[in-house]
Chains A and B, each alone.
Chain A
């Protein structure tokens, strides 16, 4: 579909939000509180922010929840009864004010969950989301979308992309059929596209490294002293992986209450010390540098090769969340020069 451009006035945007809500859509939009911004379910329009740089947590929860119920079971004397989860019941969801890097993040996840075996839990959720993007007009020194092939006004993964113009009104780019359907149902709110372009209203994010070069260097860097030297301070938590929109590692655990139980899929992280340990005690990744190496290699070497996608969208969340200032951008810049 060819991208169609329209104008939506500031006041009309509020009407669009309310119209979507009135139709019974669940909306997930960014809200700032105490200096932190997070996506929230069904906020009032007044709470929604358009000025944040990035939320602490990513949007992956919407397609890859921190706890996904895989099956239900009931055990008693007569045996075990297993019930599948009815995925047709997954609710549709409008994601509002999604930055272009995050919209592209869904593709990174898709490259894992829909690679080889197709994961229906993920896919059913993915089918049910509509992404209303918002170009970035602000960035900070942790952002590096342009170094991973994206940009602050990128349309990848969006159904509609909004860009705030100098007037305070928004340029709306309608990218997919899903986006078009939303616009058609509220056509009275959209006007002819303005002459002002998107490009003049975007954050300036300079490219800091070539990801192709990083990928190339990583191919021969498994044994490089770089990993130990640059990860001594990493304390092996899961903060970076849990805030990352492109990390997809999980654990499978059972939860029971009396006779009833569920099998759950929970977020996990390659940074945890016990992630790969065998029952015998043997651990293929015994020390933290090996785990940090896995993190970088997975995103910038293994995924490009196996999943045809980078495992990073340059949102900078991991760098902001890391308690010990393991800055991924800084490390990637060094790895380019390795």
Chain B
């Protein structure tokens, strides 16, 4: 695939807009919100990222990644017009059809907004299917917030409630959002759990402290969704790397409800 456009989101974080080189492939390619792919730089290897653009936006896909190691380091050095390898889509999906007629509460931290961006846009593009949509997004500092343009767009939309927050000390003088950790902010915003689905993505520590708050707000385990990020190689249940108990995160996941998560052995 060709790297059509590169956006610098935050320090070390970039978004690639990718276009299929072969129009036939573009035609055939279909995916759903929540799925991921294996992106590669020839000679360096493959890396797993979720598809960050919405399936309702056709003709391209996007991925957002943080420079973390060998492959992401090589990706970060690429320029527009260069080619990368892609295979996918793999994994299960957010059941957005089942969510029809409900309120949606998105809670994301740091670099975990990308996996969520796909489903956010997906549901925004099908806006009439859902009631209230609330997004709570936090990052370490203002600088670390990704998708700044889109955040602005969501902020301006009357049909979305967006709350952004940065960790204490991460604010700039003109910061107008909240200051505090995501779970704390969530408690403050206190959205109603009635008829609501909560989708939580973020670093393990954030997730850990977010679940109890959601439970306090009355969310049941079946209405809380999250994604797991186990180390992967193949993406289709063969290489044996990503399993949590008998489930493969690459095949049975990455999307799990809290109910499913609680049934999994502690191996993630």
Contacts and interface: CB of A to CB of B under 8 A. Distances in A.
Direct A–B contact in the complex, CB atoms closer than 8 angstroms: yes
Contact of A254 (B44, B234, B239): B44
Interface size grouping (class) on chain B = 20 to 34
Looking at chain B's contact residues, the main secondary structure is loop
Contact of A285 (B43, B85, B234, B267): B267
Contacts of A73: 42-43
B81 to A, nearest CB: 9
A75 B43 contact: yes
B45 A254 contact: yes
A279 B267 contact: no
A290 interface: yes
B68 A276 contact: no
Contacts of B131: none
B244 interface: yes
Interface stretch (B94-102, B115-123, B207-215, B225-233): B225-233
Given A253-B45, A301-B246, A302-B245, A278 B231 contact: yes
Interface string B224-268: 000001110110111111111110000100000000000001011
Contacts of B241: 249, 268, 275-276
Interface string A256-291: 100001010000101000011111101011000010
Given A277-B231, A302-B245, A248 B44 contact: no
A277 B42 CA distance: 23
A115 interface: yes
Interface in B41-94: 42-46, 68-69, 72, 82-83, 85
A251 B233 contact: yes
B245 to A, nearest CB: 7
Contacts of B238: 112-113, 115, 117, 119, 248, 250
B47 to A, nearest CB: 9
**Could you say which of B68, B241, B268 has the most chain A C-beta atoms within 10 Å of its C-beta?**
B241
A229 interface: no
B266 to A, nearest CB: 8
A116 interface: yes
Contacts, number: 90
B234 A252 contact: yes
Contacts of B268: 284
Given A252-B234, A261-B42, A280 B68 contact: yes
A305 interface: yes
B79 to A, nearest CB: 12
Contacts of B233: 250-252
B204 interface: yes
Contacts of B236: 116-117
Contacts of A279: 68-69, 72
Q: What 10 A-B pairs have minimum CB-CB distances, sorted nearest first?
A: A249-B240, A117-B236, A302-B246, A73-B42, A256-B43, A279-B68, A222-B265, A279-B69, A80-B83, A261-B43
Interface of B: 40, 42-46, 68-69, 72, 82-83, 85, 204, 229-231, 233-234, 236-246, 251, 265, 267-268
Given A113-B238, A249-B241, 12 more contacts: A73-B43, A115-B237, A250-B233, A250-B239, A252-B233, A252-B239, A253-B45, A275-B241, A279-B72, A301-B246, A302-B243, A302-B246
